[in-house]
Chain A
Amino acid sequence: MSIQGHFIASTKGRIFVSQFGNSKRDVAVLCLPSIVEELNLSRAVLAKQCQAFAQHGLDSFILDYFGTGDSEGEFEESSFNSWFGDVVSVGEWLQSLGYQKLIVLGVRVGALLLGVNQQKLHAQLPILGQIFWKPITSGKVFASQLIRIKQANQMMSNHSEKVNWRNEILAGNDTEIAGYVITKNFIEEIEAAVISAAIEWQSPVNWLELATQKITPATRKFVEASDVITVHTVHTPAFWQVPEVFDLPELSALGVTITHKLLVEYKWIGE
């Protein structure tokens, strides 16, 4: 199993892609990570999943959106809407390498990006199936969680004046939250990103509920509204938020089972 990195051209500059495995079979997995510290904290777990895919002959790739991870640019120069362009750039690059079909795996905001671009995604790339890790279905919820970090930090540093940070950012005052500069544009775009339960999924979805033992009512709505969603619960730690989790073999094994099933269903491999 080989591990390599690549810098490839995208819309705003060069973005970084990690590659696990080099079997050059017809299908590859393309992973869309989360953002800010969630991207960092979940990295090793996602990489271990990719290593498990590769050990089962399925080459897999993780991209860093422009302004995130090892890609060029800064977070404040990037934009939620432009990140979809990065996904398409990497998808096209993978096709140029000879991969005919892709399975996409979205972690948190990565799943949101796949959901809100569902039609475009399937029109532009040959997607065989989708895997979501604890998807975010409302960008607004993610944004408010981010803003809450700022509020908590301010409370801890004994600032008595209460600031409405969302209004502050929306008024055009860029604000650092947990080491990232958050702009008006970022808040507006991510708050507008929402996946409704009525969405028409364009390929099979394997929805992984993580860090819980039962399906939440919010997820149940999505599952009941669609016949292409399969939901799985895995009682993992919330590894995208807590440090010191590097490997979740049970989660990796489930990923391998799901992709194997997808490949069999689509007759890319035998039983």
Chain B
Amino acid sequence: MEYTFTFSSNNEQLLSIVHPSAENSETGVLVVVGGPQYRVGSHRQFVQLARCLADAGYTTMRFDYTGMGDSSGDKAEFDNIDDDIGAAIDAFMQQQPELKRVVIWGLCDAASAALIYAHQDPRVKGLVILNPWLRSEQAMGKTMLRFYYLQRLFSKNFWRKLIAGKVDVTASVKEVKSFAADSINTGNKSHQASYQERMKKGLQQFNGKLLLILSGNDLTAKEFEQQAFTDKAWQKIESAHCFTERLTDSDHTFSTKKWKRKVEQFTLEFLRSI
């Protein structure tokens, strides 16, 4: 029967719900929450998923990371929740000692968080990532340069304003330069690597299996697909250990019964292969 417990991570209290399977499963599923949602999920997707997986033999846990839902603390950034995920797996395996391995399931920025985390923890044998968040500033920079600034440079209105002295030339040039730089540079940031780089590295170093589920009617999915399937550094996504499923009509959060059941089915098929 479903039960709840609270565990701690860096002195914050994180609330979780466990859906034990009657079948003493050795593989457990940890649902990581993303975006503005909490452990219930948009239109209760995570509750329904967890119940479905538990019924099918896989003990499942959902939790609120720092600052989300009921948990304490200031909301953590999605790419800074390694400690929370690690603490959740510790607590999960302590609570359900029959577990030998864990599959992390995450949608949107939780999928990104899962990719960043998984390779560091040998207990994680599988990942189910749905519509991962992989916004690229370079791509955005390119888009801006092409559609906005170039257009502006060629617009009569811009020149008219320029001649009339209504445009701050220095600022404009600086702005264009910075966007142009963003679109050319390849993440040579001096501080911690960008989350995109960490996702890429995460995939390269992950030894388990991966299931990618993409919605057809979702910009986040499209953006991920455009980058991951064209960039050589992401080529592992097309290897024998990585599977891709597409739901052509689905929106970002799988907001119908039909799509939710499909996601559950894909997840179950994948779990059986672990």
Contacts and interface: CB of A to CB of B under 8 A. Distances in A.
Interface of A: 1-7, 14, 16, 18, 20, 36-37, 39-41, 43-44, 47, 51, 62, 68-70, 72, 75, 176, 178-181, 243-247
Contacts of A2: 6, 13
Contacts of A7: 1-4
Interface string B248-274: 000001011100100000000000000
Most A-side CB within 10 Å, residue of B2, B38, B74: B38
Contacts of A75: 44
B43 A178 contact: yes
Contacts of B118: none
B165 interface: no
B35 interface: yes
Contact of A16 (B4, B44, B67): B4
B88 to A, nearest CB: 15
Contacts of B38: 40, 43-44
A179 B75 contact: no
A39 B69 CA distance: 11
B4 A44 contact: no
Contact of B17 (A70, A243, A245): A70
A interface, over-half SS: mixed
B72 interface: yes
Nearest to A1: B72
B interface, over-half SS: loop
A176 B13 contact: no
B24 interface: no
A162 B47 CA distance: 33
Contacts of A36: 43
Contacts of A243: 35-36
B47 A70 contact: yes
B35 A51 contact: no
18 contacts: A1-B72, A2-B6, A2-B13, A5-B70, A37-B43, A40-B38, A40-B41, A40-B42, A44-B69, A47-B69, A69-B44, A70-B17, A70-B39, A176-B257, A179-B42, A246-B67, A246-B75, A247-B75
